[in-house]
Amino acid sequence: MPATLDQPRHRTHRSSSTERTRRPRRSERRPRENDARQPRRHAIKPTWDRSNRPDAAAVATGAPATSTRPTSRRRKSRLGKFFSGFTLEKSFTILSFLVASGLIVLCSLDLAFAWPWMHASLLFDWTYLGVGLAMLWLTWDVFNDQSR
pLDDT (tens digit, 9 = 90+) per residue, 86-145? 899 999 999 999 999 999 999 999 999 999 999 999 999 999 999 999 999 999 999 999
Instruction: Supply the pTM of this predicted model.
Output: 0.50
Q: Is residue 42 part of a domain?
A: no
Give rounded-to-5 percent helix, strand, coil for the chain: 45, 0, 55
**Gap between the Cα atoms of 81 and 88, Å rounded:** 15
Q: So what's the pLDDT on residue 124?
A: 95
Q: Is residue 40 part of a domain?
A: no
Triad 57, 63, 66: Cα angle to 5°: 70
For residue 136, what are the domain limits? Answer: 96-148
Q: Is residue 77 part of a domain?
A: no
If one counts the domains in the chain, the total is 1
> Between 83 and 128, whose confidence is greater?
128
Q: Is residue 34 part of a domain?
A: no
